[in-house]
Structure 1
Amino acid sequence: MTEINEIVIVLKWSGKEFPISDLTDQDTVEVLRHEIFLKTQVRPERQKLLNLKYKGKPAPDNVKLCALELKPNFKLMMVGSTEADIEDACSLPDDIGEVIDDFDDADGREETIENSAVYLAKVQRRVRDYKIKELATPRENKKLLVLDIDYTLFDHRSPAEQGQELMRPYLHEFLTSAYEHYDIVIWSATSMRWIEEKMRLLGVANSDKYKIMFYLDSNAMISVHVPERGVVDVKPLGVIWGLYKQYSSKNTIMFDDIRRNFLMNPKSGLKIRPFRQAHLNRASDKELLKLSDYLRQIALNCSDFNSLNHRKWEHYDPKKNS
């Protein structure tokens, strides 16, 4: 089995130094470029890496970092510039889903990524380094529900005078019902400040009928490489499972409107119908109402969620799955 070692590269750009630490020697130059993008907002295609060489030539994107024989804390020099339109496009990380096709045909690929030693090593690094701020204490014998925000609970694109106008119908009823059987975690591909503001805006943060156990932001995600799609960021549930041993794939379910976020845990993810154009769909959207019933049924009738196919959640029959 190939040994996987963590490495740190110090990027020198625009008169500053940026430690790029979320890397292993089995990652490729393409993954390095993605991590540089996350640090600097300089898009990979605009990055000129001056002293990153492979066999005397600029290192190709598909070369693994271990092949470059980099010294510890190697200082990498880059030339590249950001532009106003790039900054706008990257100000809300969750908007990336608008321009990247989702992975609805990803069964075989998910299996490969889920068991990749490189990505599992990144998950362990998150377990080690990511600091969770608990808002509520985990409860005994509860299952775990992990929820996305944008287009799952909230339409963040439509215009409105108040945030409540963009809230998905039955949100508070859904969370109240789910809380009976599940501890609830919010995980969004945005900053923690943005998450906290949205939860306050929606009245979730101060509810007396349910509690959110904690929030996870984009820093808890990891980058994975998909050959035909490039590098994408995903939400590995192993980050939670590594810190809270009472939860596992047997009792965890995650809702997200983007399937690629499940790449590390494909069997635990349920792709929810996105809630868009709130003003047009608010009166007819009953997704959360229907999902409340599904969550209750599987909590009461299923001892191992690994046996479920969440793609067929609307046809769940507790008699056949008990």
Structure 2
Amino acid sequence: MLQEKTNVLMKRQKLIGLSINGKPASDETPLTHLSKLKNPHRFILMGTPEADIFVDPQDCQELPEVFDDFDLEMAPHSEQWRHAIENSENLARFTETTEVHFIHQPREGKRLLVLDLDHTLLDFSGRSGGTDAGLVADRVSLKRPHMDAFLTAVYAEYDLAVWSQTSWRWLELKLTELGLLYHPAYKISFVLDKTSMFHVTSTDRAGKERRHQVKPLHIIWRKFPHWTEANTYHVDDLGRNFALNPANGIKVKAYYRGRDGATRDDELVHLAHYLLQLAAHSGPPPADHKNWRGWKPQPPLGG
């Protein structure tokens, strides 16, 4: 009843002032025992409504199931790939129903960089939370090392978009709390959430078919033709998310801030260097980005 009236989840409620014989009533105390006390009962409810909580995605019931994708493959131009593209009723429907609202308008001549959030740029697991001091500390520690410097550097050559596998409600909270939507050094052009993802079937290395969600860049390309397969890159820690666009996907190591060596993580430093090399390179781009850490631009023919 209290949860209904206040939007404070039961697990976040702390009731002060309900006591029996001078001792606080426990969760197991029947209300009939309280009826023997003075009526009405006055108490204080401490807790934060759910809409005001900076939510860890792992606490959300609505998040899709995530499985380890290290053994998942979908080869470019395979039968699966052609089937998914040619039988693209889902793709057409998602393109039609997906609304893209620009937070900052695209800049003329810029490439597009689509960025995952959780475990790519940030890690929301293991929050300290609970207190204002804890939340402030979280706002700093949630970010992957060099995140702001990375976004600032690549923004010079790329329009930035965020595509996260969570719902818009939680995504907006994350981006707003962390100041990513209106940062002075870089701008996020638009944001997509899990409602713009749909299911395909891929085969893992063991030959087992797995049904999973993807982030189809075709939705963006069909809506905004100035962005194409030739000038779009998608950065994610889950390779399965770019199963329909394998030539555009750049897979990074997943970031977990609680692991040993997390503060020395320099993945974004190397990624910025790679993306800026791609932007400056006039020769043929790499066929894929599997070996992006060791890629060196080839000189143009006759150069």
TM-score, normalised with respect to structure 2: 0.70
Instruction: Give distance in 2, aligned partners of 1:189 and 1:314.
Output: 25
What is the CA distance between 1:282 and its match in structure 2?
3.6
Instruction: Kindly report which structure 2 residues correspond to 1:16-55, keeping only aligned pairs within 5 A, or say none.
Output: none
Q: State whether structure 2 residue 182 is matched by structure 1 residue 206.
A: yes
What is the CA distance between 1:107 and its match in structure 2?
4.2
Instruction: Give distance in 2, aligned partners of 1:311 and 1:107.
Output: 13
3-state secondary structure, aligned to 1:276: coil
Instruction: Give distance in 2, aligned partners of 1:146 and 1:189.
Output: 13
3-state secondary structure, aligned to 2:90: helix
Residue 75 of structure 2 corresponds to 108
Residue 262 of structure 1 corresponds to 242
What is the CA distance between 1:125 and its match in structure 2?
1.3
3-state secondary structure, aligned to 2:124: coil
3-state secondary structure, aligned to 1:319: coil
- Out of 158, 170, 175, the position equivalent to 2:126 is 158
Residue 217 of structure 2 corresponds to 237
- Out of 71, 74, 91, the position equivalent to 2:62 is 91
Q: 1:239 to 1:304 in 2, by over 3 A?
A: farther
Instruction: Give distance in 2, aligned partners of 1:89 and 1:205.
Output: 23
Higher relative contact order (CA 8 A, sep 6+): 2
3-state secondary structure, aligned to 1:138: coil
Q: 1:155 to 1:194 in 2, by over 3 A?
A: same
What is the CA distance between 1:231 and its match in structure 2?
1.9
Q: State whether structure 2 residue 261 is matched by structure 1 residue 285.
A: no
Q: 1:267 to 1:257 in 2, by over 3 A?
A: same
Residue 254 of structure 2 corresponds to 274
Residue 130 of structure 1 corresponds to 98
Q: State whether structure 2 residue 291 is matched by structure 1 residue 312.
A: yes
Q: 1:189 to 1:110 in 2, by over 3 A?
A: farther
Residues 101-152 of structure 1 deviation map (CA, whole Å, 9 limit, x = unaligned):
3054514377333322465321121111111111011111111100001000
What is the CA distance between 1:88 and its match in structure 2?
6.3
What is the CA distance between 1:195 and its match in structure 2?
1.2
Q: State whether structure 2 residue 191 is matched by structure 1 residue 215.
A: yes
3-state secondary structure, aligned to 1:225: strand
Q: 1:133 to 1:290 in 2, by over 3 A?
A: same
AA matched with 1:145: L
AA matched with 1:203: G
Instruction: Give distance in 1, aligned partners of 2:91 and 2:283.
Output: 26
Q: State whether structure 2 residue 161 is matched by structure 1 residue 190.
A: no
AA matched with 1:122: N
Residue 145 of structure 1 corresponds to 113
Instruction: Give distance in 2, aligned partners of 1:129 and 1:218.
Output: 13
Instruction: Give distance in 2, aligned partners of 1:245 and 1:154.
Output: 30
AA matched with 1:115: R
Instruction: Give distance in 2, aligned partners of 1:321 and 1:148.
Output: 32
Number of residue pairs aligned between Structure 1 and Structure 2:
231
Q: Is the 8 A contact 1:110 1:264 kept in 2?
A: no
Q: 1:256 to 1:275 in 2, by over 3 A?
A: same
Instruction: Give distance in 2, aligned partners of 1:281 and 1:258.
Output: 21
3-state secondary structure, aligned to 1:318: coil
Q: Is the 8 A contact 1:110 1:263 kept in 2?
A: no
Question: Which one has a larger percent helix, Structure 1 or Structure 2?
Answer: 1
Q: 106-115 or 124-133, which moves further after superposition? A: 106-115
What is the CA distance between 1:213 and its match in structure 2?
0.7
What is the CA distance between 1:206 and its match in structure 2?
1.7
5+ residue gaps in structure 1?
Answer: 1-86
What is the CA distance between 1:229 and its match in structure 2?
3.5
- Out of 132, 138, 155, the position equivalent to 1:179 is 155
Q: Is the 8 A contact 1:221 1:236 kept in 2?
A: yes
Runs of 4 or more above 6 Å deviation: none
Instruction: Give distance in 2, aligned partners of 1:230 and 1:109.
Output: 17
TM-score, normalised with respect to structure 1: 0.66
Root-mean-square deviation over aligned CA pairs: 2.3
Q: Which has the larger radius of gyration?
A: 2
